[in-house]
Amino acid sequence: MQELPLQLVTQMIADRRTIHKRPELGWTEFETTYFIAKRLEKLQIEFQLGGDFLDRASVHGRDEQEVQTAIQRALEHGVPKTFIKKTQGYTGVAGIFDTGRPGPTIAIRADIDAVPVQESQDEAHESVMGGYCSEIPMVMHSCGHDAHTAILLAVAEWIVENQDNLCGKFKFVFQPSEEGVRGGLAVANGGFLDDADVLLCFHIGTKCKLGEVGIC
């Protein structure tokens, strides 16, 4: 088993902390979507944004007022207006990378939304000590989707770097609004995954020890 390069691990930790600082509730993940899109662009991975790959008729639990408030916050935090326009008001990113060699289409999915929880401000709290505590009151990545997003970005980078040893196509789904089981149907019915031979999903948890992976 090849070890991950240290640079990729370091970046994954930094990405997770950046995302942790700016948590966004389901259907309002505009800053997170921008962060992901910028990285995929840098990796030269083709991608679509929520407005293009989600089936809007299958979008549930999306509050237009919450969306507008989030767009405003994203604009104030440096997300360009042109980018917001490209999302058409729908968050999430779907990337595709073709190795150019025949083989299966492997899709990997991570969720990107946070939950309505106030993060502890205790000075002994890990993210307070590390300087990456949530900046958004009453919103926190307490379900770990910040880690999922960072992991999938690292996987995408690893695939690009190791493309000469790989075959087939890879699809990367950064799914909005997992909480409340709201976003999955819109992704599924949007058709982006229809040609996938395999769909891999994952969630971090506390039942495995460091270095272990549980499969179900």
CB nearer to Zn ion: give 143 or 152. Answer: 143
CB nearer to Zn ion: give 143 or 151. Answer: 143
d(CA 157, CA 26): 25
Q: Tell me how far, at minimum, the Cβ of 140 lies from Zn ion, in Å.
A: 12
The residue range among 10-18, 23-31, 100-108, 140-148 that interacts with Zn ion, by the rule CB under 5 A, is: 140-148
Q: Tell me how far, at minimum, the Cβ of 175 lies from Zn ion, in Å.
A: 11
Measure the N-to-C terminal CA separation of the chain; round to a whole number of Å: 21
Q: Which residues contact 214 (CB under 8 A, 6 or more apart)?
A: 205, 207, 208
The residue with tokens 């549980």 is 214
The residue range among 6-14, 56-64, 143-151, 180-188 that interacts with Zn ion, by the rule CB under 5 A, is: 143-151
CB nearer to Zn ion: give 70 or 143. Answer: 143
d(CA 199, CA 173): 10
The residue with tokens 């506390």 is 206
The residue range among 16-24, 88-96, 116-124, 135-143 that interacts with Zn ion, by the rule CB under 5 A, is: 135-143
> Could you say which of 49, 74, 112, 143 contacts Zn ion (CB under 5 A)?
143
Residue by residue, DSSP assigns 12-77 as HHHHHHHHHHS---TT--HHHHHHHHHHHHHTT-EEEEHHHHS-GGG--S--HHHHHHHHHHHHHT
Q: Tell me how far, at minimum, the Cβ of 116 lies from Zn ion, in Å.
A: 13
CB nearer to Zn ion: give 113 or 169. Answer: 113
d(CA 83, CA 30): 9
d(CA 184, CA 188): 6
By CB under 5 A, the count of residues binding Zn ion is 1
CB nearer to Zn ion: give 33 or 175. Answer: 175
CB nearer to Zn ion: give 45 or 151. Answer: 151
Told to check if 40 binds Zn ion by CB under 5 A, we report no
For residue 148, give both structure tokens: 């999922």
* Chain residues that interact with Zn ion, rule: CB under 5 A: 143
